[in-house]
Amino acid sequence: MKTSHEKIAIIDFGSQYGQLIARRVREQKVLSAIYPPSVSAEELQGENIAGIILSGGPSSVYDKNAPSCDEKLFDLGVPVLGICYGMQIAGKILGADIRPAESREYGRTDLHVSESSGLLAGVPEKTTVWMSHGDQVNQLNDDFITLAQTPTCPYAAVKYSKKPFYGVQFHPEVTHTPDGSEMLKNFLYQICGCKGDWLIGDIAEEMIAQLKDELKGENVICGLSGGVDSSVVAAILHKAIGERLHCIFVDNGLLRENEREGVEKTFCGHFSVNLRVVDWSEQFLSGLEGVTDPQKKRKIIGAEFIEAFKSEAEKIENAKFLAQGTLYPDVIESGSKDGNLAANIKLHHNVGGLPEELGFGLVEPLRDLFKDEVRLLGEYLGLPEDMVWRHPFPGPGLAVRIIGDITKEKLRIVRQADEILIDEIKAAGLYRKCSQTLAVLLPVKNVGVMGDDRSYESVIAIRSVDTSDFMTADFSRIPYDTLGIISNRIINEVRGVNRVVYDISSKPPATIEWE
């Protein structure tokens, strides 16, 4: 994104939280941008950098191929904050001794603040932080000042007296560190002197201007699913290029109940663009027959999406670009090929499984944004509230909510269970309070009693999470009475199900979707 706003440069050493740091900075109305460890101090000069954050990462600073950073970053005259691995690599450069901890520390721990000013201003003397590390600072030289400790980490937060460097061994960016936002706010405003003038309107207007410039005279195909991501992509492109936008909806046979009808009704009435509906359900289901591996499912579905688009694009004159709703979490969790060091957790159909020769140029206006930013962008663009706040639905659809192989009978079961679940969540007034709610069909049969007869049928798992960024999440505290109603309805109304369970795992370590 081209902009003249002050910027925080985030050097990503492969942390699964790298993009989350960027989001937390933007939450404070300050622009952030991600850079690989190879970025030089010279490259960052002239980009209006107000500060630098060094992310965590999975490596040890003593690994043979451990990523490092340009030591001249510390001579740019802007404050630097090192988080976890970022603190360790900076400490090594600045003369601290780093050693493996006696035991790997993972999870919540108590932090004792010894200097409640600067980075830790306003933070209680005793607070909770989230740790995830193997190495830690073993010894500091005289140029370091200790700011906070934990029972197992004597240098949990430090500052360097000769240069504006601060380091924390814990992760302030995750919600499991309750005062983390205050720490980041202190770094941005008290230490870096940021003005906080990065607003969603700026994002929208700069994005529209950039798209206008890049897509002059070109027709663009937008794959419309009815979810918030593709809807916002369509809206922003329509603002930028008007009638040259052509929306295509692919019925892949993996949709929720009445999804196709709802999309046709909404977009034919809301957008003044051509909406083409392609029924490709038989091709998808045929390609998925007998496939159980979730990564293979995603690749097959991604390939079929491209084929569907190509089949319809042949009917659109001079269509050279394909627009997708790829978001920041899609990119980080898929293990980006352009210098991102994060471990590959799962493939997304937006960024994984695409053929090398796509036939179209890719347009991904939202790839720098998180889900909550996309919703705010949708509101700014005037999209209907029920569209903007709809719960996320994965690109591969119900294929990744059926564990194991895909059949029409399994699709019927999970589709009906999902409809009941969402109906009851809405009836209980919980839909806007929960961030994402879904039903999963498990690959097990279990004994039950239906009437006076023994049954041997399927299990539905209910999953509902609360989150602001979808990088971390906790399970929703749905009242027992509501869960009871949902369970009773699914068992009574969905033929083939005799047991319902509720998933109470958080992210991390679990993902939101089961596959």
Q: Are 376 and 235 in contact (CB under 8 A)?
A: no
Give the pLDDT of residue 472: 85
**CA distance linking residue 315 with residue 175, whole number of Å:** 48
Q: Does domain 7-191 have CATH number 3.40.190.180?
A: no
Task: Reply yes or no on whether 173 is catalytic.
Answer: yes
- The residue from 171, 176, 246, 349 that is catalytic is 171
Which one is predicted more confidently, 95 or 182? 182
Instruction: Please report, in angstroms and rounded to a whole number, the separation of the first and last CA atoms in the chain.
Output: 32
217 is in an annotated binding site: no
Q: How far is CA 90 from the centre of its chain?
A: 27
Strand 453-466 vs strand 436-450: parallel, antiparallel, or unpaired?
antiparallel
Looking at every residue in the chain, the average pLDDT score rounds to 87
Task: Reply yes or no on whether 84 is catalytic.
Answer: yes
Q: Which of 284-288, 364-368, 369-373 has the lowest mean pLDDT?
A: 369-373
**CA distance linking residue 492 with residue 475, whole number of Å:** 25
- Is 401-502 the same fold as 200-388? no
Task: Reply yes or no on whether 349 is catalytic.
Answer: no
| Span 200-388 CATH architecture | 3-Layer(aba) Sandwich (3.40)
231 is in an annotated binding site: yes
Look at domain 401-502 and name its CATH class: alpha beta
227 is in an annotated binding site: yes
What residue spans of 289-394 are helical by DSSP H? 294-313, 328-334, 371-380, 385-388
Model confidence pLDDT, tens digit, residues 259-276? 888 888 777 776 677 889
Domain extent listing, the chain: 7-191, 200-388, 401-502
- The residue from 27, 105, 173, 373 that is catalytic is 173
226 is in an annotated binding site: yes
Model confidence pLDDT, tens digit, residues 388-418? 888 988 889 999 999 999 999 999 999 999 9
Residue 330: pLDDT band by 50, 70, 90 thresholds? confident
Give SS3 for 32.
Answer: strand
- The residue from 84, 192, 222, 247 that is catalytic is 84
Give, for 483, the enclosing helix (H) or strand (E): helix 480-493
- Given a cut of 60, whether residue 346 has pLDDT beyond it is no
225 is in an annotated binding site: yes
- Given a cut of 50, whether residue 51 has pLDDT beyond it is yes
Give the pLDDT of residue 337: 38
- Write down the pTM of the prediction: 0.70
Strands (E), 4-43: 7-11, 31-35
Instruction: Give the contacts of 70 (CB within 8 A, at least 6 positions apart).
Output: 39, 40, 41
- Given a cut of 90, whether residue 167 has pLDDT beyond it is yes
What residue spans of 324-471 are helical by DSSP H? 328-334, 371-380, 385-388, 408-427
State the burial class of residue 459 (Cβ atoms within 10 Å of its Cβ: 0-12, 13-18, 19+). Answer: middle
